[in-house]
């Protein structure tokens, strides 16, 4: 009998045996193409020799040293490399163990910065509906996925949610994409006015929305308007690139494509590519210096901050993505995969939208293409598609998100950047089989 506490307590998944490139194998020898990199994690596949060697070398030297006593070469070099790679003025890197920790750190850094800057009234967080920022209580409170929040709602801080930028569902007849983006961005200004600008701490958003809506990119001009509103009212812009960052959308940081820079940015998943658990929060010198010249102490921390082995793995990942050019495969391969998906499912009766950026692709399942009516959540279609695809040898990431407060369904694809042309038909055929079986 197993003593593991799985999330699905009545299901026993197969035991994984080993990985090879973009494939995972279970103990029976069955191969699975990792079409979602787990949950948009494994951007380099499962057997990258350079990353594995970097981990071995670091463990041979020292696996762990607490940041209360030491810094380390990999943490220093990784931070420098991330700052160099990040466009704009992000200047300091706070290394943590994953995405939720990065987001918790971002929220608490924002609050401490406001206090030390002499603006202690700033405490309200504004985020968007249909977003996900992590599962710890602060990050969960920030996210707008009502299904995830519901049981814990009485324990969550009071966050304010405005409309997401989700053109497929929100753009009105006769409205241009640009006008739609401006309209929903302006909801931020309305909310700030309602709360009193002097009380608002930060606006939080995923540049390309992942788990809750399925790779929804912003429309042009949306984030420029958001940046403008934040600047006007002294509100910090926190971007959550935990899922969409590290090359996933075709640029190392997704915000690059919006022509803006955040004040704080969180990355995780692709940062360690699954070889080690690691996340990072990047912030501007202005924020860091205010605390350095004030209390001199960030009143927040985790035991595994700056973990040397995790940092060594992430540094090797970053080198593979940038110096070795692996991330350059993302845009062209993503375009080919999206075209193949549109060719096969573009007219499918129950696929309403195929969208995304780079190798971050979403297919939205609908009961009716014309009316965009979501399926009844009780059907648990996302779970059925996930199981059928898994049987067919494809790992994909279908989720029941929320559409207007109800549960909708989408399939998220986030394959390793090392995938090749030959894998495209494998993904499309397995997905076709899974949809035929489930819908």
Binding footprint of ligand PLP on the chain (CB under 6 A): 39, 98-100, 103, 132-134, 206, 210-211, 240, 242-243, 268
Per-residue buried b or exposed e for 296-313, using 16+ beta carbons within 10 Å of the residue's own CB: eebebbbebbbbbbbbbb
- Closest residue to ligand PLP, judged by C-beta, is 99
Q: Which is nearer to ligand PLP, 207 or 374 (CB)?
A: 207
**Smallest separation (angstroms) from ligand PLP to the CB of 198:** 28
Q: Which is nearer to ligand PLP, 189 or 416 (CB)?
A: 416
Q: Which is nearer to ligand PLP, 100 or 438 (CB)?
A: 100
Tokens standing for residue 77: 């070099």
Q: Which pairing describes strands 279-284 and 264-267: parallel, antiparallel, or unpaired?
A: antiparallel
3-class SS at 156? coil
Q: Which is nearer to ligand PLP, 100 or 407 (CB)?
A: 100
**Smallest separation (angstroms) from ligand PLP to the CB of 175:** 27
3-class SS at 88? coil
Phi, psi of 165 (to 5 degrees): -95, 95
Confirm if 19 and 47 have CB atoms less than 8 A apart: yes
Rounded alpha-carbon distances, angstroms, from residue 168 to 87, 122, 215, 353? 29, 34, 12, 7
Rounded alpha-carbon distances, angstroms, from residue 202 to 23, 99, 234, 239? 40, 18, 9, 10
**Beta carbons within 8 Å of 154's beta carbon, 6+ residues apart:** none
**Smallest separation (angstroms) from ligand PLP to the CB of 292:** 27
Q: Which is nearer to ligand PLP, 189 or 217 (CB)?
A: 217
Q: Is 306 left (phi over 0), alpha (psi -120 to 50) or beta?
A: left
**Smallest separation (angstroms) from ligand PLP to the CB of 172:** 27
**Smallest separation (angstroms) from ligand PLP to the CB of 98:** 3
Q: Which pairing describes strands 394-395 and 31-34: parallel, antiparallel, or unpaired?
A: parallel
DSSP, res 357: E
**Smallest separation (angstroms) from ligand PLP to the CB of 82:** 17
**Smallest separation (angstroms) from ligand PLP to the CB of 139:** 6
Q: Which is nearer to ligand PLP, 109 or 115 (CB)?
A: 109
For residue 360, the cross-strand partners are 357
Q: What is the DSSP string of 178-216?
A: HHHHHHHHHHHHHHHHHH-GGGEEEEEE-SSB-TTTSSB
Closest CA to 430 of 406, 383, 382, 396: 396
Q: Which pairing describes strands 23-26 and 31-34: parallel, antiparallel, or unpaired?
A: antiparallel
Q: Which is nearer to ligand PLP, 242 or 326 (CB)?
A: 242
Q: Which is nearer to ligand PLP, 210 or 262 (CB)?
A: 210
∠ CA(106), CA(405), CA(222), 5° rounding? 50
**Smallest separation (angstroms) from ligand PLP to the CB of 310:** 12
**Smallest separation (angstroms) from ligand PLP to the CB of 267:** 10
Q: Which is nearer to ligand PLP, 398 or 438 (CB)?
A: 398
- For the four alpha carbons of 17, 330, 103 and 81, in that order, the dihedral sign comes to positive
Q: Which is nearer to ligand PLP, 133 or 350 (CB)?
A: 133
Q: What is the DSSP string of 290-352?
A: HHHHTTS--S---TTTT-HHHHHHHHHHHHHHTTT-GGGGHHHHHHHHHHHHHHHHTT-TTEE
**Smallest separation (angstroms) from ligand PLP to the CB of 145:** 10
């Amino acid at each position: 009998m197993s003593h593991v506490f799985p999330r699905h307590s009545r299901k026993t998944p197969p035991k994984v045996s080993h990985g090879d490139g973009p494939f995972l194998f279970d103990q029976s020898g069955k191969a699975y193409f990792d079409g979602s990199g787990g949950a948009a994690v494994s951007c380099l596949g499962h057997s990258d020799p350079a990353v594995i060697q970097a981990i071995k070398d670091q463990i041979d030297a020292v696996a762990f040293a607490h940041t209360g006593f030491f810094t380390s070469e990999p943490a220093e070099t990784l931070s420098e490399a991330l700052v160099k790679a990040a466009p704009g003025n992000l200047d300091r890197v706070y290394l943590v163990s994953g995405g939720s920790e990065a987001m918790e750190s971002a929220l608490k850094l924002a609050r401490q910065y406001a206090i030390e800057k002499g603006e202690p009234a700033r405490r309200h967080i504004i985020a968007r509906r249909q977003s996900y920022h992590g599962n710890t209580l602060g990050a969960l409170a920030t996210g707008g996925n009502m299904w995830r929040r519901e049981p814990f709602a009485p324990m969550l801080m009071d966050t304010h949610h405005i409309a997401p930028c989700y053109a497929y569902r929100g753009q009105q007849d006769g409205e241009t994409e640009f006008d739609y983006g401006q309209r929903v961005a302006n909801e931020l200004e309305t909310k700030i006015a309602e709360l009193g600008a002097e009380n608002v701490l930060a606006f939080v958003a995923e540049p390309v929305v992942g788990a809750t809506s399925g790779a929804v990119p912003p429309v042009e001009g949306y984030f420029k308007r958001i940046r403008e509103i934040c600047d006007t009212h002294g509100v910090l812009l926190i971007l959550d690139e935990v899922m969409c960052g590290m090359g996933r959308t075709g640029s190392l940081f997704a915000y690059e494509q919006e022509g803006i820079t955040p004040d704080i940015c969180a990355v995780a998943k692709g940062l360690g590519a699954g070889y080690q658990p690691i996340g990072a929060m990047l912030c501007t010198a202005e924020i860091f210096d205010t605390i350095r010249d004030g209390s001199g102490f960030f009143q927040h921390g985790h035991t595994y901050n700056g973990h040397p082995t995790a940092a060594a793995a992430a540094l090797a990942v970053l080198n593979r993505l940038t110096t070795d050019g692996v991330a350059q495969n993302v845009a062209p391969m993503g375009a080919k995969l999206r075209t193949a998906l549109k060719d096969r499912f573009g007219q499918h009766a129950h696929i309403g939208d195929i969208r995304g950026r780079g190798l971050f692709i979403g297919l939205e399942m609908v009961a009716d293409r014309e009316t965009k009516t979501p399926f009844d959540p009780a059907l648990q279609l996302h779970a059925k598609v996930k199981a059928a695809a898994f049987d067919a040898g494809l790992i994909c990431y279908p989720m029941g998100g929320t559409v207007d407060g109800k549960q909708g369904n989408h399939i998220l694809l986030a394959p390793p950047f090392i995938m090749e042309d030959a894998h495209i038909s494998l993904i499309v055929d397995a997905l076709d089989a899974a949809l035929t079986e489930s819908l």
